[in-house]
Amino acid sequence: MLLLVGGVILLLVGVLWTLQGLGIVGGSAMSGVTLWAIVGPLVAVGGAVLLVLARR
């Protein structure tokens, strides 16, 4: 259960960071910063891996 919750949270945070880094979601200091467009997908993939592991 912990892997499932952690995976969902990481996936959602990764998507949000990606959108902020690309400038699609504004209103924060992270908006338009390329670093978050790179880190976001990595975090989202980590969350997806946790979800796959939780399903096993």
* 8 A C-beta contact, residue 47 and residue 11: yes
Residue 27: inside a domain, yes or no? no
Give the integer Cα–Cα distance in Å for 38 and 56. 28
Give the up-direction half-sphere exposure of residue 47: CA atoms within 13 A in the CB hemisphere: 18
Residue 49: inside a domain, yes or no? yes
Number of domains in the chain: 1
Residue 9: inside a domain, yes or no? yes
Which residue reads 């924060």 in tokens?
28
Which pTM was predicted? 0.89
pLDDT tens track for 1-56: 999 999 999 999 999 999 999 999 988 888 889 999 999 999 999 999 999 999 98
Domain range spanning residue 8? 2-22+33-55
What letter does residue 33 receive in the DSSP assignment?
-
